[in-house]
Amino acid sequence: MTTTDLGPLRESAFRFLRRKRLVSLAVPATILIYFTYIFFSFDILGLAERARMDNAVTLASDSWSYKTHVTRDNRSGELAYAIEGERKGTYPDGTRPEWVSDAGEALVIDLEDGHIITFLPDNGVSYVIPGYGTFEARLVDGRIQSNLGDTPPEWINASGTRVAITTDAGRLTMTRSKTEVFRYFPGWELFWFTLDSPYHDHGFVSLLTGPQLDPERSNLSGMWEDFWRNSMWRHADVAWAISETILMAFLGTFGGAIIALPLAFLAARNFAPLVAVRFAVRRVFDFVRGVDALIWTIVLSRAFGPGPLTGALAILVTDTGSFGKIFSEALENVDDKQIEGIQSTGASVLQRYRFGVIPQVTPVLLSQILYFFESNTRSATIIGAITGGGIGLLLTQAMQTQKDWEEVAYYITLVVLMVMLMDTLSGWLRSRLIKGKGN
Amino acid sequence: MTDQTLSGGISLNDTRRSYAALVQRRRLYGGITVLIFILLMVGGFNIADERNAGGFWNGLGQLGDFPEGVISEAWEKRGQLSGHMVTYFGALLETINIAAVSTLVGAVAGIILSLLSTRGLAYWPRLTPLFRRIMDVMRAVPEIVIALVLIFILGGGPVPAMIAIAFHTAGALGKLFSEVAENADLKPVEGLESVGVNWAQRMLLGVMPQVAPNYLSYALLRFEINIRASAILGFVGAGGIGYELKNAMTWGQGRFDEAAAIFLMLFGTIVLFDQISSHYRNRLTKGDQA
């Protein structure tokens, strides 16, 4: 019977537990302290003040709806009807929306739900607002005279030179130069055809089965042409931008892989001819990776100018570094037996690499390349925003004008679809290539 | 006996011939694939070259001009370089903070999403496909999209970038995390369940200790990536060192010393954090017996 003194063991066990408890307490505490610091450093409190909730509302409502403007020039009395007030969305002469009608000299605009705006002769306007009454105003000698009391409701903004009424049904603004009505509709306007196309305002089925609308072209080819050349949504340009982004990712990823493969042999321990060469090539990879795509983009865009090539080269250079590192690690893990087997048949060095090494590393390499290709599609969107190419550029431009949020929503949808498509494609290819065709 | 036959009456020559034909066909297919690939590369390059403002071959000669200009100017004003570094240190810290916070927030969200979308662990087992799709979408949205939208609403600064990166990180880490969690041993979870512990405790005490090293290693890798992302987002207006770099660049010649200082700091930071993170990742994945 041996007696062991359990005292020190017990002591050390307790010490271990104490330390563990301390760590499990210290980690959350540190994170909490860090977040407190971030709370003040990022000025989260000030954020609430700076946030423009009205912008958020515009964005949210504008991205899925559109408005049609009915405008009267108060000097010439000319009337114009335009979707989003854009020239490209203007109704051709002699046509107008069906919710606008004449009543003698006046023009009646029906905003539905009982809201009716009437453009009266001599620069007058009246607005029947259910639950409020009738608003009337007239432009006399450059001043707007209205029937508003001293304290108009908050949704009416009125002064001597400008009146703006915003209701759920629409919006009326009157200034010295023009009187304008907005009527809102859900959806993306003129997405398929612009107003000047004969196919506008026809159902898809009736276009396919109905009579030929344009004597020059069959319905199907005409529809395609008018859709593709839609001046409002520019489908052709957008498709081109998407392919440009994918092109940047493709050229960058595969170009980088092609350059990195031979260099990786120089950087792999079991293939490098000299330790010095291996060291040097590794440092080059590290440098290229460390400089980062952002800096490469800036440096390259100075030399090559803005455009997709610059973006492709920026991805190429950065990825050469990443691929070089991954490839050389894969090469260091190859099995020597196959190479020896090939060597025993009297194969040259190149043949040894081609038949002994490459087949071993191909699955790893290909799956990495495809994985990078997919993630580079995303990067190409960002790089495109910096160098000016592809869908990234379109997206930033549409955002900076702060006007066409429905276009922004359209581009975002396309970008997400594009990335998910590449994701699926590369996943499918990877499983085919690695697990073999039988899957 | 010159003609050798295998059992079944197939002559060796036939076998050899069919093998040769197979090899030939394989080579043909391989050749066609390579040819298509080369055509795509060359064609794609030419298209990109055409659409670019400056041509590739012209640009190649000017490639060194900008770095040369920056370096020579930085060398002339090398005395001010350290001063600039002090000036922009705050911006650099902000970039790192954006990356750190978004990695933390993204990792926490990723853990929750991953547990909800792993078979055998999910709280609502029927909803696992839904959470997987959510993660797919989160990964697919490029950071710049969310950042630009949030800049429009919240104004410039670090918060839009932070949210944008955290959103993407949650999706990316969630996927990797759930792959790890799928391989976790369910016995501790069952043991905990048998003593009547609730779901959150089962995850925290039964799953987390098993997967923590892998999770940490992925989170560290993500932190590296997020530093780069946060610098890039700064360039589009989300604050930090990227924003300062953009300003220094737009001022152009004469202020290149500031650009040089920022380049150096950014490069140093990226390399430093790469080294730290790869050191700890090695320790985590290969185990630390130290």
The whole-number average pLDDT for the span A205-214 is: 69
pLDDT of residue B107: 95
Dump pLDDT digits (tens) for A376-399.
998 898 888 888 888 888 888 888
Dump pLDDT digits (tens) for B202-245.
888 888 888 888 899 899 989 999 998 999 888 887 788 888 88
pLDDT of residue B5: 55
For tokens 């679809």, what's the residue? Answer: A417
On chain A, the residues whose CB falls within 8 A of the CB of B155 are: 50-52
User: Is residue B7 pLDDT above 70, yes or no?
Assistant: no
Using the Cβ of A277 and the Cβ atoms of chain B, whether some distance falls under 8 Å is answered with: no
CA dihedral A28, A30, A32, A33 (to 10 degrees): 170
pLDDT cut 70: percent of chain B above it: 94
Question: Measured between alpha carbons, how far is B227 from A340 in angstroms, rounded to an integer?
Answer: 44
Dump pLDDT digits (tens) for B61-74.
777 788 888 888 87
pLDDT of residue A207: 66
Question: Measured between alpha carbons, how far is B201 from B138 in angstroms, rounded to an integer?
Answer: 27
Question: Measured between alpha carbons, how far is A352 from A361 in angstroms, rounded to an integer?
Answer: 13
User: Is residue A52 pLDDT above 50, yes or no?
Assistant: yes
Residue B157 per-residue DSSP state = S
In whole numbers, what is the pLDDT of chain A averaged over residues?
A: 82
Dump pLDDT digits (tens) for B249-268.
877 667 788 888 888 898 89
Contact between chains at A59 and B154 (C-beta distance less than 8 A): no
For tokens 């004469």, what's the residue? Answer: B254
On chain A, the residues whose CB falls within 8 A of the CB of B62 are: 302-303
How far, CA to CA in Å, does B276 sit from each of A361, B220, B223, B280, B287?
A: 28, 9, 11, 6, 16
ipTM greater than cut 0.95? no
On chain B, the residues whose CB falls within 8 A of the CB of A293 are: 228, 232
Question: Measured between alpha carbons, how far is B163 from B148 in angstroms, rounded to an integer?
Answer: 11
User: Is residue B103 pLDDT above 90, yes or no?
Assistant: yes
What is the per-residue burial (b if ≥16 Cβ within 10 Å, else e) of A56-82? eebbeebbeebbbbbbbebeeeeebbb
pLDDT cut 70: percent of chain A above it: 92
Spans of all domains in chain B: 12-59, 67-286
The residue among A264 and A93 whose pLDDT is bigger is A264
Max avg pLDDT among A63-72, A152-161, B81-90: B81-90
The residue among B2 and B220 whose pLDDT is bigger is B220
CATH 1.10.3720.10 residue window(s) in chain A: 235-435
Indicate the pairing of strand A170-175 with strand A178-186: antiparallel
Contact between chains at A41 and B48 (C-beta distance less than 8 A): no
Interface of A with B in 54-73 (CB under 8 A): 55-56, 59
CATH topology of domain B67-286: MetI-like fold (1.10.3720)
pLDDT of residue B112: 92
Between A136-140, A200-204, B5-9, B134-138, the lowest mean confidence (pLDDT) is in B5-9
pLDDT of residue A27: 87
Closest residue in A to B45 (Cα) is A251
**pLDDT band, very low/low/confident/very high, at B290 (cuts 50, 70, 90):** very low
Max avg pLDDT among A134-143, A245-254, A426-435, B140-149: A245-254
Kindly report the number of other CB atoms within 10 A of residue B88's CB atom: 22
The whole-number average pLDDT for the span A354-381 is: 87
pLDDT of residue A213: 67
Contact between chains at A307 and B60 (C-beta distance less than 8 A): no
Max avg pLDDT among A23-37, A110-124, A171-185: A23-37
- Regarding the domain with residue range A235-435, which homologous superfamily does it belong to in the CATH classification? MetI-like (1.10.3720.10)
Strand partners, A108: A101, A118
In whole numbers, what is the pLDDT of chain B averaged over residues?
A: 85
Strand partners, A117: A109, A127
pLDDT of residue A436: 54
Strands laid side by side in the A143-146 sheet: A100-103, A106-110, A116-120, A124-129, A133-140, A143-146
pLDDT of residue A5: 76
Q: Where are the beta strands (DSSP E) in A156-201?
A: 156-158, 162-166, 170-175, 178-186
Q: Which of B51, B165, B233 to mutate to test the interface with A (most CBs of A within 10 A)?
A: B51
On chain A, the residues whose CB falls within 8 A of the CB of B136 are: 420, 423
**pLDDT band, very low/low/confident/very high, at A2 (cuts 50, 70, 90):** low
On chain B, the residues whose CB falls within 8 A of the CB of A304 are: 52-56, 59
The residue among A254 and A123 whose pLDDT is bigger is A254
Across the interface, of B54, B60, B143, the residue whose CB is closest to A382 is B143
H/E element, B14: helix B12-51
pLDDT cut 90: percent of chain A above it: 10
pLDDT of residue B109: 95
Interface of A with B in 292-351 (CB under 8 A): 292-295, 298-300, 302-310, 312
The whole-number average pLDDT for the span B49-57 is: 80
User: Is residue A320 pLDDT above 90, yes or no?
Assistant: yes
Contact between chains at A303 and B143 (C-beta distance less than 8 A): no
